[in-house]
Amino acid sequence: MATVTYDHVTKRFESVVAVNDFDLEIPDREFLVLVGPSGCGKSTALRLLAGLEEITEGNIYIGDRLVNDVTAKDRDIAMVFQSYALYPHMSVYDNMAFGLTLRKMPKEETRRRVHETAQILGIEELLKRKPRQLSGGQRQRVALGRAIVRDPAVFLFDEPLSNLDAKLRVQTRAEISKLHDRLGTTFIYVTHDQVEAMTMATKIAVMKEGVLQQVGTPQELYSRPDNVFVAGFIGSPAINFFEVTVSGTREEMYLDHGCCLVRVPDSKVNDLLPYLGKRVIFGIRPENVHDQEYQPPNIAVAPVRAKVDVTELMGNEIFLHLIMENGKPFLARVDPRTKARPGHTIQVALNMAQMHAFDPQTKSVIRRSDRL
């Protein structure tokens, strides 16, 4: 059990900056998910903590201990790899006991721990098998077991679910969450899958090109993204972005799409006041675009006409691929009762209370009211 602190950590490979001034404090017992597209430096950040890469600049602390110069084996960390990295020539039992044996734990204690862990994971009957005799899901469990049995201060996961099929992934996701509750240890989990991040994390850290973009609870990241990248990365299907001009007056402000005007709700007017007459990036999530016929009551709506391009029935909802009159495509996630069919032109209602606006230069959110 330990807090983990990245203190302005930078990692360069020759001329490439993989991790840039990464500054993050992870409290004890947190389940932090580091998420971002491939090559964003999230795995490198994890490997720096594990001691598998050397830090170029900055410090990493585990608890109060500066670990920059501590070798991987002395950092009290266990890691689950994407490939599982089971030792192919050892039985499951030996795989799990490997770390304990190396640490000179008494045989009896090792046996007890391995069996206890195997029981938790339901792999007791596999202990005598070799990794090649196991299915992907079973290997995954053994890899988890090998980490748990060591009772480390911090658990690291490097995309551990990528090699599982979709069904098993959902199941294992829930199990890892349960495991976190049960062990009460700091988990740091790297993934490119924002769904994994949203479902498992107590905190998410979004990275892009080596730079930390935003840290927060899943809910915070979803409803109050700090910039265009986070807004676009978190949430599936992805948020709709429009380049618009802020027009009108303080009393009656609009976002001008070129083809239609969308009224800015009073709650957002203050934020956008400095941008009057300028361009902004307007973002709205698909679930906040409603078929006007079935829009929920009591929302700040702005009507927009759009042509239906494609409809996708998901069962409990329908995705409408729409085209605005200016030719801009966007996506709506609407009530399945909708009568919209491809080729129709319909009225959709944007729930403007949930709108996001970003500065087109800095790509940062325009949220003036927060700062005042």
Partner 1 sequence: MILWSIPTIALLVSSFREPTAIAASGWWNAITEPFDFTIDNYEKVLTQRGMARSFWNSVIITVPSTILVILVASFAAYAFAWMRFPGRNVLFLVVVALLVVPLQMTLIPVLRLYVNVTIDQELPLLGGNVFGVNSFPGLWMAHVAYGLPFAIFLLRNFFGALPRDLFESAYLDGASDLGVFFRIVLPLSGLAIAALAIFQFLWVWQDLLVALVLLGDPDLAPMMLTITSLVSSFGSQYQLLTAAAFISMIVPLFLFLALQRYFVQGILAGAVKG
What does the binding site for partner 1 look like in residue numbers (CB under 8 A)?
Answer: 50-52, 71-73, 77-79, 81-89, 98-99, 102-103, 130-134, 136, 139, 146, 150, 163
Strand partners, 187: 31, 155
The amino acid at 187: F
* CA atoms of 146 and 88, how far apart (whole Å): 14
Minimum CB–partner distance for residue 73 and partner 1 (Å): 4
> Which is closer to partner 1, CB of 98 or CB of 242?
98
**Which is it for strands 279-284 and 57-62: parallel, antiparallel or unpaired?**
unpaired
Closest distance to partner 1 from the beta carbon of 132 (Å): 2
Length of the chain counted residue by residue = 372
Of the chain, the end-to-end C-alpha distance in Å amounts to: 38
Among candidates 217, 182, 168, 175, which has minimal Cα distance to 197?
Answer: 217
- Residue 152: CB minimum distance to partner 1, A: 9
Cβ proximity to partner 1, 41 vs 218, nearer residue: 41
Which residue, 142 or 264, is less far from partner 1 as judged by CB? 142
Cross-strand partners of 6: 24, 60
What is the residue type of 281?
A: I
Residue with tokens 């950040």: 45
Least Å distance between CB 310 and partner 1?
A: 36
Toward partner 1, which CB reaches closer, 162 or 236? Answer: 162
Q: What is the 3-state secondary structure (H, E, C) of 87-110?
A: CCCCCHHHHHHHHHHHCCCCHHHH
Provide the minimum distance between the beta carbon of 147 and partner 1 in the complex, in angstroms, as a whole number: 9
Q: Which two tokens stand for residue 164?
A: 């599982």
286 SS3 class: helix
State which residue, 36 or 99, has the beta carbon closest to partner 1: 99
77 or 206: whose CB is closer to partner 1? 77
SS3 8: strand
Provide the minimum distance between the beta carbon of 126 and partner 1 in the complex, in angstroms, as a whole number.
Answer: 13
Query: What single-letter DSSP state applies at residue 159?
Result: S
CB of 101 to partner 1, least distance (A): 9
| Closest CB to partner 1 among residues 79, 120 | 79
CB 307, CB 322: distance < 8 Å = yes
